[in-house]
């Protein structure tokens, strides 16, 4: 199927190539890493650089033999630099991993609204140690801001919260990640119309 997808890409039949690539990815093919690489190329060809970075990162994770290691490293680095120069936010690898897993399985997670998340976070804030409070205060600032700005690129506030505050904030950190990913998907949809 990969060869078929490559032929479709060669003919610039991006829509059909994307369907074939997702079939390979969801079918747990041993060449799934190459399918992710080709999906990244497809997104880059469409000008969807954030999606391309995510696909290339997933290909890196799956490329156990390092077959495409150099190419993927260069692609992620180059696209990251372009996105930074354009001041366009993109995801931290830990959040991208969760996003890609959800895309592969079709899992849909309805996030808490920002107001409900903030209410929960502010109630928990006084109970945390200093490191946990610092991480949660940063997350609260992010949610209050209500937008994905470039300075947040490649930061995982959810992961930072988990590492700083531990088990007691695990559910809150996961709901923060879901909220962040929902905002990210909305941003992608808006920009790619």
pLDDT of residue 193: 66
Averaged pLDDT, 117-141: 94
Judge whether 5 and 21 are in contact, CB under 8 Å.
yes
Query: Domain limits of the chain?
Result: 2-88, 114-191
Mean pLDDT of the chain: 91
- pTM for the predicted model, two decimal places: 0.86
Q: What whole-number distance in Å separates Cα of residue 135 and Cα of residue 138?
A: 5
- Residue range 2-88 forms a domain whose CATH class is mainly alpha
Higher pLDDT, 193 or 154: 154
């Amino acid at each position: 199927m990969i060869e078929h997808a490559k032929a479709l890409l060669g003919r610039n039949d991006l829509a059909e190539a994307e369907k074939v690539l997702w079939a390979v990815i969801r079918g747990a093919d041993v060449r799934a890493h190459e399918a992710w690489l080709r999906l990244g190329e497809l997104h880059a060809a469409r000008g969807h650089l954030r999606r391309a970075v995510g696909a290339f990162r997933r290909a890196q994770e799956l490329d156990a033999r390092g077959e495409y290691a150099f190419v993927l490293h260069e692609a992620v680095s180059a696209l990251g630099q372009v996105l930074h120069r354009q001041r366009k936010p993109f995801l931290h690898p830990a959040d991208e991993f969760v996003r890609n897993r959800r895309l592969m399985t079709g899992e849909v997670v309805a996030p808490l609204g920002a107001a409900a998340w903030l209410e929960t976070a502010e109630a928990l804030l006084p109970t945390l140690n200093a490191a946990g409070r610092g991480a949660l205060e940063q997350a609260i600032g992010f949610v209050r801001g209500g937008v994905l700005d470039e300075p947040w690129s490649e930061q995982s506030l959810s992961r930072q919260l988990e590492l700083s505050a531990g088990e007691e904030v695990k559910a809150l950190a996961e709901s923060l990640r879901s909220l962040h990913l929902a905002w990210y998907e909305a941003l992608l949809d808006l920009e790619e119309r």
